Amino acid sequence: MLSLFSIPVGHSCVLQHVGEEFLSRPMRQRMAELGLRAGTHIAICQKTAGGGRVLRIGNTRYAVDKDTSKQLMVAAGEN
């Protein structure tokens, strides 16, 4: 598995695991409410100035910071 942080812009992936040992329970719960849960297909739209990522899930875009993107484990998909 790779971290979401390592997936290049323009590529997609499937979320496999959320880093439970590093992210708080409220943070993990909020991410699940937004659709960031195991099995979700994610497209990487762009990098942010601080090293975070802008993700697309369906027709919705979300921004996650650099540290959070390193705790989201994914399986690489197609570009």
User: How many Å apart are CA 36 and CA 50, to the nearest integer?
Assistant: 21
Tokens of 23: 């992210």
User: How many Å apart are CA 69 and CA 52, to the nearest integer?
Assistant: 7
43: pLDDT confidence band, cut at 50, 70 and 90?
very high
Residues for the chain: how many in total? 79
- DSSP 8-state symbol, 58: T
Place of tokens 């590093």: 22
**Range of the structural domain that residue 8 is part of:** 2-76
Q: What is the pTM of this model?
A: 0.85
Max Cα-Cα span within the chain: 32
Whether the pLDDT of residue 51 is over 70: the answer is yes
Considering its fold, how many domains does the chain have in total? Answer: 1
> Comparing C-alpha atoms, which of 33, 3, 23 is closest to residue 15?
3
pLDDT value of position 78: 62
20: pLDDT confidence band, cut at 50, 70 and 90?
confident
Tell me the CATH number at 68.
2.30.30.90
